[in-house]
Amino acid sequence: MRLRTPFAILASALLCAAALPAEVTLQDLLDDPRVGADWLNYHGGYAGHRHSLLDQIDRSNVESLRLEWAFQERISEKFEVTPLVHEGIMYITVPPGDVYALDAETGARLWRYSRRLPSKLIACCGLVNRGLAILGDRLFMATLDAYTIALDSKTGRLLWETQLIDYSLGYSGTHAPLVVKDMVMVGTAGGEYGIRGFIDAFDVETGERRWRFYTVPGPGEFGRETWAGDSWKTGGASIWITPSYDPELDLVYWGVGNPGPDWNGDVRLGDNLFSDSVVALEADTGTRRWHFQFTPHDVHDWDATQVMVLLDKEYRGVERKLLVTANRNGFIYLLDRQTGEFLRATQFVKQTWAVGISEDGRPIRRPGMEPSAEGIEVFPTVAGGTNWMSPAYSPDTGMLYVSCREGSSMYYKGDTEYRPGTRYWGSMFVNEPTMHNWWGAVRAFDPISADLIWEHKLFQPAWAGLLSTAGGLVFAGTSDGFFKALDSGSGEELWRINVGGTVQASPMTFEVAGRQMVAVAAGGSLFAFALP
Amino acid sequence: MRNLLNLAALLALPVLLTAARTHETNPMSSAEDFAEGRRLYRIHCGVCHGMDGNTGRGARLARRSYRHGDSDAEMFDLIEGGVPGTDMPGVWLEEDDIWRILLFVRTFAAKAGESCVAGQGDVAAGERLFSGQGSCLACHTVGPAGGRLGPDMSFAGEMFTPDQIRRALLEPAADVADRYRTVRLVTAGGERVEGVVLNENSYRIYIMDRAENLRAFDKGKLQSLETPTESLMPAYGNLLTEAQIEHLVAYLCTLREDRREGGTE
């Protein structure tokens, strides 16, 4: 074996000093997070629960939780990563294009991969990245220049890279990929640039493309008629959050982004499938089994890129395989994840755009709430009733925890014209900072009835996700710079710390050297907390 | 053949990579260019800067000098390349279109500054009123002097039109920037405090009170916390004559930094 760099030597020495981490197996991914110690998938498991069985930190001792270590970098972008941890090694992405391996016990750096990115990347909402996927001794990342890459998890060496598409047309990769069997799956971001969204599956060994699914159907494909004229060519429908997966049904559940242009639907008359939908794809082939569209012909930018939470529960007396998701449009949806059958939708924040949801799951729109040249005030805000930040589901309490955003935006409609690689919004402007009616809350719902069980109010709407643990806790971050632990049963605040920067990531937990740690990115740093 | 392919690639490059600046000053000037610049601004810039260059979360464009440089070339590079580390991205447009946007953006500065001329008012009388009878200096800074409770007026002539200044004097509560939001609170001990908010989070509120003391309060322990709609600034329609208001407008219009002085960065 030829050692490539002094850094690689150091990394090898460090890893050899402790036990060399075993490779991550497919069984590990299926077991996760039931094995507890590791965190091997963006959501902490295929079902999208972001719940851990670790219970060393609990309601009785969380008040003595303290900072164990911090990782800092020169980060001027939003730091949105959820770390992965395997056998004492933490893997993170740092925007715009770096990957680090850290000693999970101390935060010390083991190796760094730095991607050479073009100077002019195209990303609507920051040069961000949300994390990695892992299998064997490989890490997988979607990059801002629209590649999927594989790295050696022991050295950070690039193993392969496969281009999704030419980034200069407005495409990028921002979400943590999903590994299913021997494939790694990635969808493309860029819904504000007139892209035609798609999802790719690659061979984990070679990077060879196995299949592609277009989230905007082309000629001859199902749903093509839902796009007027040639509008499908620039229809958006991006992917920017990791899907959930049901190994038994072998279906992958992708939340799809908004149609383009965002706020002017006149050039894309029709329902605009599969924008603002969940699509259930067969893992091996990428074939669509079913889809459900939350917001047909969206003109408010209500991407359905929220986490799809998979539950097996009783519904009206029958045990069902369910999918529950709190959507950006202000409703919580309950679907049968085997068939896509719509079961229920319930409003969970103030909204003024719909009178309600009909029995077939289509919204009944309130007239006059579309964007206009003069502007129209609509609840929720353009950021939605919730957004990409993760919800959590605790099997112990049976509650679904959602970070909720209250408030309104002014929605304007304007001219638009497609030019490759430039913004395709269709709006004069959307006036966001009407902060005086903006506030947030962590809310606990019964996932089946969508009944509100408790609420913990936040001073501002949060961009941080939630983590539930078997210690009876829900961890939450806030926009005013706090990271806190709530009682998962009551919502009572049990612990908090000022982390000095906005939390714009979802927390995770792991165990190393017999100690449970909770980690969260905030500002330009990553913090790990543990009991003394 | 290979050379030909390379040449083809080079020729294709400007189309893909858009603008490289070939002028030092804005070559665009026609009414058509202006109309196109306004249209492009609306699509690419208005989201953050507002159609009047004066609202939104982006930098205020309705002013006469800019932090990153005022020359056409500096402005072009800023629009094209954005400001690293901020939410200001560059625009992917061809050179001519960026110049057209700049042609439109320049109208904000004209509106903000050039029209702020000392109309009928007497500048010297306005200056006396500002520090004397009007007590404006108690709360506003001009250069090194003045209070810190209200916005700095050192460059008022670049930032506001006479109408905006007049309105602020007559209806001070009509348009209060978030940074100068007023609060009125009563502590557990019954003390009444009034001031502007420096920061607020879920648990505490930090204010500068009328005496410019920086104070922090636990929100949960207050008897009451109100954000009154009126401003701390009095409405001068009741305190000064119409002529005196015009003197103040005239004086404030002269407060500007028209030329950049040399000096260290």
Query: How many Å apart are CA A208 and CA A223, to the nearest integer?
Result: 28
A375 inside 8 A of chain B by CB: no
The whole model's pTM is what?
0.83
B85 inside 8 A of chain A by CB: yes
Q: What integer is the mean pLDDT of B138-150? A: 91
The per-residue pLDDT for A77 is 87
The pLDDT tens digits of the residues spanning A70-98 come to: 999 988 789 999 999 999 999 999 999 99
The per-residue pLDDT for B61 is 86
A9 pLDDT tier (thresholds 50, 70, 90): very low
The per-residue pLDDT for B58 is 77
CATH architecture label of B178-226: Roll (2.30)
B258 pLDDT tier (thresholds 50, 70, 90): low
Is B43–A76 a contact, with Cβ atoms under 8 angstroms apart? Answer: no
Does ipTM top 0.95?
Answer: no
Q: What integer is the mean pLDDT of B211-223? A: 94
What token pair was written down for A424?
A: 């395709």
The pLDDT tens digits of the residues spanning A169-199 come to: 999 999 999 999 999 999 999 999 999 999 9
Rounded mean pLDDT of chain B? Answer: 82
Q: At A76, which amino acid appears?
A: S
B155 pLDDT tier (thresholds 50, 70, 90): confident
CATH architecture label of A6-354+363-530: 8 Propeller (2.140)
A221 pLDDT tier (thresholds 50, 70, 90): very high
B48 has a pLDDT exceeding 90: no
CATH code at B14-114 = 1.10.760.10
Interface mutation target, options A117, A412, A424, A429, chain B, most CBs of B under 10 Å: A429
The per-residue pLDDT for A122 is 86
The per-residue pLDDT for B263 is 34
The per-residue pLDDT for B45 is 86
The per-residue pLDDT for A12 is 46
The pLDDT tens digits of the residues spanning A275-293 come to: 999 999 999 999 999 999 9
Q: What integer is the mean pLDDT of B165-186? A: 87
Q: Which residues pair with A113 in a beta bridge?
A: A99
Which position has the higher pLDDT, B7 or A329?
A: A329
A144 has a pLDDT exceeding 70: yes
Q: Which residues of A touch B51 (CB under 8 A)?
A: 428-429
Q: What b/e readout covers B180-204, taking b as 16+ CB neighbours within 10 angstroms?
A: bbbbbbeeeeeeebebbbeebbbee
The per-residue pLDDT for B118 is 62
B174 has a pLDDT exceeding 70: yes
The per-residue pLDDT for A285 is 98
Is A421–B92 a contact, with Cβ atoms under 8 angstroms apart? Answer: yes
The per-residue pLDDT for B110 is 67
| CA angle (A419, A424, A427) in 5-degree steps | 135
Q: What integer is the mean pLDDT of A320-325? A: 98
The pLDDT tens digits of the residues spanning A387-423 come to: 999 999 999 999 999 999 999 988 888 878 898 888 8
Smallest Cβ distance to A423: which of B44, B57, B178? Answer: B44
The pLDDT tens digits of the residues spanning A227-275 come to: 999 999 999 999 999 999 999 999 999 999 999 999 999 999 999 999 9
The pLDDT tens digits of the residues spanning B197-210 come to: 988 889 999 999 99
Could you please report the per-residue DSSP string of A119-162? SS---TT-S-----EEEBTEEEEE-TTSEEEEEETTT--EEEEE
B113 pLDDT tier (thresholds 50, 70, 90): low
B257 has a pLDDT exceeding 70: no
| CA angle (A306, A308, A309) in 5-degree steps | 125
Among chain A residues, the shortest Cα distance to B205 is held by A459
B13 has a pLDDT exceeding 50: no
Q: Which residues contact A396 (CB under 8 A, 6 or more apart)?
A: A470, A472, A488
B39 inside 8 A of chain A by CB: yes
> Dihedrals φ, ψ of A445, to 5°?
-120, 150
A523 inside 8 A of chain B by CB: no
B262 has a pLDDT exceeding 50: no
B200 inside 8 A of chain A by CB: yes
Q: What integer is the mean pLDDT of A353-358? A: 98
The per-residue pLDDT for A436 is 64
Query: How many Å apart are CA B197 and CA B200, to the nearest integer?
Result: 7
Active site members of A: 301
B265 has a pLDDT exceeding 50: no
> Dihedrals φ, ψ of A37, to 5°?
-65, -40
B187 has a pLDDT exceeding 90: yes
A278-to-A46, A272, A275, A325 alpha-carbon distances in Å: 16, 13, 9, 10
Structural domain spans, chain A = 6-354+363-530
Smallest Cβ distance to B51: which of A76, A425, A428? Answer: A428
B127 pLDDT tier (thresholds 50, 70, 90): very high
The per-residue pLDDT for B2 is 42
The per-residue pLDDT for B11 is 38
A330 has a pLDDT exceeding 90: yes
Is B43–A423 a contact, with Cβ atoms under 8 angstroms apart? Answer: yes
Report whether A252 contacts A180 (CB < 8 A).
yes
A11 has a pLDDT exceeding 70: no
| CA angle (A112, A165, A383) in 5-degree steps | 80
What token pair was written down for B63?
A: 């002013």
B175 inside 8 A of chain A by CB: no
Q: Which residues of B touch A423 (CB under 8 A)?
A: 43-44
Among chain B residues, the shortest Cα distance to A483 is held by B202
B46 inside 8 A of chain A by CB: yes
Q: What integer is the mean pLDDT of A198-212? A: 98
Q: Nearest CA of chain A to the CA of B43: how many Å? A: 6
Q: What integer is the mean pLDDT of A165-171? A: 96
A47 has a pLDDT exceeding 90: yes
A2 pLDDT tier (thresholds 50, 70, 90): very low
Q: Which residues pair with A160 in a beta bridge?
A: A150
Pick the CATH number of B123-175+233-253 from 1.10.760.10, 3.90.1300.10, 3.40.50.720, 1.10.4030.10: 1.10.760.10
Q: Nearest CA of chain A to the CA of B132: how many Å? A: 36
B16 has a pLDDT exceeding 50: no
Rounded mean pLDDT of chain A? Answer: 93
Do B14-114 and B178-226 fold alike per CATH? no
B141 burial via Cβ count (<10 Å: 0-12, 13-18, 19+): middle
The per-residue pLDDT for B47 is 74
What token pair was written down for A95?
A: 């925007």
Q: At B208, which amino acid appears?
A: M
The per-residue pLDDT for A71 is 97
> Dihedrals φ, ψ of A199, to 5°?
-125, 135
> Dihedrals φ, ψ of B81, to 5°?
-100, -15
Q: At A11, which amino acid appears?
A: A
> Dihedrals φ, ψ of A318, to 5°?
-120, 135
What number of residues does chain A have?
532
DSSP conformational letter for A176: P
Is B92–A120 a contact, with Cβ atoms under 8 angstroms apart? Answer: yes
Report whether A341 contacts A392 (CB < 8 A).
no
Among chain B residues, the shortest Cα distance to A436 is held by B178
Is A435–B178 a contact, with Cβ atoms under 8 angstroms apart? Answer: yes
Report whether A438 contacts A451 (CB < 8 A).
no
Q: What integer is the mean pLDDT of A448-453? A: 97
Among chain A residues, the shortest Cα distance to B55 is held by A431
Is B56–A431 a contact, with Cβ atoms under 8 angstroms apart? Answer: yes
A43 has a pLDDT exceeding 70: yes
Which of B260, B259, B255 is CA-nearest to residue B142? B255
Is B42–A415 a contact, with Cβ atoms under 8 angstroms apart? Answer: yes
Structural domain spans, chain B = 14-114, 123-175+233-253, 178-226
B51 inside 8 A of chain A by CB: yes
A459 has a pLDDT exceeding 60: yes
Share of chain A above pLDDT 90, in %: 85
Could you please report the per-residue DSSP string of A257-310? --BSSSS--GGG-S--TTTTEEEEEETTT--EEEEEESSTT-SS-----S--EE
